[in-house]
């Protein structure tokens, strides 16, 4: 409802990202080795089977939600940047008011997000120094 009066353009899109279950498997294995209680061991065995199943069946994806906000550069770039910053923070506040945490992505996170388009299995990225080539994008955490 809070977006009803918003007449400015923005893009909303969702990308799948594979969840790394290896740390969870290692944690469960460690707990299984440490536990002597048969009931707990049985529960841990069940959890290990489920994690192994998720790892191999291709259903270990989470969907990440993004909003891209832009504005045509006006006569003064500083004013345009200020207006964009205000708008981005308004978006963030709207989602927070609805109980959805979100964050404004920095340069490295934007590069990682762009890599998800080409390879959702893994999104490696390298730092590119301190220059800003990328638009600000807000990520919604659901």
Q: pLDDT value at position 71?
A: 82
Same domain, 103 and 46: no
Q: pLDDT value at position 141?
A: 58
Determine the structural domain holding residue 106 and report its residue range.
10-18+66-141
Same domain, 71 and 121: yes
Average pLDDT value for residue range 86-106: 87
| Residue from 116, 107, 137 nearest 15 by CA | 116
Number of neighbours of residue 57 by Cβ within 10 angstroms: 8
Residue 107 makes CB contacts below 8 A (sequence gap 6+) with 128, 132, 133, 134
Same domain, 107 and 131: yes
Same domain, 134 and 88: yes
Same domain, 44 and 91: no
What's the total number of domains in the chain? 2
Q: pLDDT value at position 10?
A: 80
Same domain, 50 and 71: no
135: pLDDT strictly greater than 50: no
Q: What is the pTM assigned to this prediction? A: 0.52
Same domain, 77 and 29: no
Q: pLDDT value at position 24?
A: 86
Q: pLDDT value at position 133?
A: 45
Same domain, 52 and 104: no
Residue 28 makes CB contacts below 8 A (sequence gap 6+) with 44, 47, 48, 51
pLDDT tens-place string over residues 33-81: 998 898 898 999 999 988 888 877 767 777 778 888 888 888 888 998 8
């Amino acid at each position: 409802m809070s977006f009803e009066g918003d007449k400015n353009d923005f893009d909303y899109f969702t990308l799948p990202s594979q969840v790394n279950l290896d740390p969870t498997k290692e944690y469960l294995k460690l707990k299984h080795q440490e536990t002597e209680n048969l009931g707990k061991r049985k529960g841990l065995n069940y959890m290990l089977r489920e994690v192994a199943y998720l790892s191999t069946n291709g259903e270990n994806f989470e969907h990440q939600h993004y909003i891209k906000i832009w504005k045509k550069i006006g006569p003064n770039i500083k004013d345009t940047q200020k207006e964009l910053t205000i708008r981005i923070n308004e978006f963030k506040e709207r989602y927070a008011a609805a109980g959805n945490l979100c964050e404004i992505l920095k340069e490295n996170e934007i590069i990682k997000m762009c890599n998800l388009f080409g390879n959702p299995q893994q999104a490696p990225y390298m730092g590119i120094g301190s220059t800003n080539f990328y638009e600000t994008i807000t990520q919604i955490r659901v």
